[in-house]
Amino acid sequence: MIVHEGQIHLRPDHSVRSSYTEPGGAQKTALRAGDVFVRDGTSTRRWRSTELPTLLAPYVEMARREERARIDGIVAVVRQQYRGMEAAVGPAAALTWQLGQDDFDTAVIELSRRRDQAPIRLLGFDIARDGCALLDDPDTDASGRLQDLLDRAVSALAYGIVLNDKNLVERLTRALYQIYTHGLVLDQPRRDVDATVQFTIVARVLAAIALAVRIEAWWAVRPLTLQPVGTEPGAYERASWLRHAMVWNSRWNTAPTSADGRPIPGVLIAQAREIINRVPALRRDVAAPVDAFALGETSKRGDTLLDSLCQADLLWCLVALLHGGKRGTRDFYTSFAALYEHRIQPMVCRLLNDESVVASVFPDSTPENLREALADVLGMASSEGARFGHFDFGLRDSPDG
């Protein structure tokens, strides 16, 4: 039994009974199978067939609105893709980081597919040049424009990883490195703002390594990690820009903090997770929707992106340690120690059991050296994790071991 009330509200009318007993004792049938009742003022009556168009009209209109919205969405996507393709097939200089994110991504994908290197080469030069200029620009809006530029740069880099375009990854890594080192005097940031920008750059790099981990593009891990800083005479050299940025953000006290001003545990991972949420190319492999993530919030178990960031953090620490000749903690720091051990254990197991991964990421290391380096890195993680109540960063061959 269905009752129609007004224009669109349908509900069962429990006041209409299928049968009832009259005062004289006779049974009276009020409802038969198939009856439909409508509200008419304060009374309930059976509907008339002539009322069907009126009853269905609001639902037909709602279906039309939903379909129009769906078609409008499809048309918007097609238009956006054509705008991106116009940038890809136009003059080489048409590809610029000032494009909207969606148009930029479409153009980069199309150019990579066509193996058109001229626009990619020019893009790398433009990003490096404009990034350095924005870093020096005192205007109040320069910082926001620089962050937009860095988002476009890491987006193109991410598509290079996804599409196995090593030239694209090399070009954009080089551009980011030029911006990074522009803010240095020898091995030291010139100002606190330079240290802050350097930290946001390596947070994007960690996000890109995490993408490589998830899609098993192991070839990308080493070049993203091994960008040395302080190679000039008289400078303090570090094997990886990730470690350099962490050291100087600690010294300048410029790392992001929580809303109440407290330090954020594992802040590099936290900022990388926030960047992934903002840049779609860094999570192209992850089904939508992706949970939002704010700096300083409590991490959730089962966060695939956060797990991959912790594993990426473990990998870069090992790469830097082994490449630097095992000079102790000067070349790495275990941000993942602020989170739980279960997030990195799958990667520990792979490094101990999967020769193909080891050969790709650590081509010059023996199994003995890698196992020893793992013990060193996990030892630091256990020591650092104790400050957060996390102690169990053990060296185990299997998740259950």
Please report the pLDDT score of residue 14 as a whole number.
Answer: 45
pTM > 0.85: no
Q: Which residues of 127-149 are buried (b: 16+ CB within 10 A; e: fewer)?
A: bbebbbebbeeeeeeeeebbbeb
Please report the pLDDT score of residue 77 as a whole number.
Answer: 56
Amino acid at 10: L
Please report the pLDDT score of residue 358 as a whole number.
Answer: 96
Please report the pLDDT score of residue 235 as a whole number.
Answer: 82
Cβ contact 218:357 at 8 Å: yes
Give the tens place of pLDDT for each residue, 141-168: 999 999 999 999 999 999 999 999 999 9
pLDDT in 10s for each residue of the chain, 401 residues: 444 444 434 444 444 456 666 777 777 666 666 667 777 777 777 767 677 777 777 877 887 787 777 766 665 555 555 554 555 555 445 688 998 888 899 989 989 998 988 889 999 999 999 999 999 999 989 999 999 999 999 999 999 999 999 999 999 999 999 999 999 998 899 999 999 999 999 999 999 999 999 999 999 999 999 999 988 887 888 999 999 999 999 898 888 777 777 888 889 999 999 999 999 999 999 987 677 666 566 667 778 999 999 999 999 999 999 986 666 668 899 999 988 788 999 999 999 999 999 999 999 999 999 999 999 999 899 888 887 776 566 655 555 54
Exposure of 66 by Cβ count < 10 A (0-12 exposed, 13-18 middle, 19+ buried)?
A: exposed
Question: Domain residue spans in the chain?
Answer: 3-47
**CB-based contacts of 160-166 (< 8 A; 24+ apart in sequence):** 160/112, 161/208, 161/211, 161/212, 161/215, 161/217, 161/220, 162/211, 162/215, 162/217, 162/281, 162/284, 162/285, 163/109, 163/112, 163/113, 164/217, 165/112, 166/219
Cβ contact 213:311 at 8 Å: yes
* Cα separation, 235 vs 252, whole angstroms: 18
State which H helix or E strand residue 147 sits in.
helix 142-162
Would you call 139 helix, strand, or coil by DSSP? coil
Please report the pLDDT score of residue 324 as a whole number.
Answer: 64
Q: Where are the beta strands (DSSP E) in 228-367?
A: none
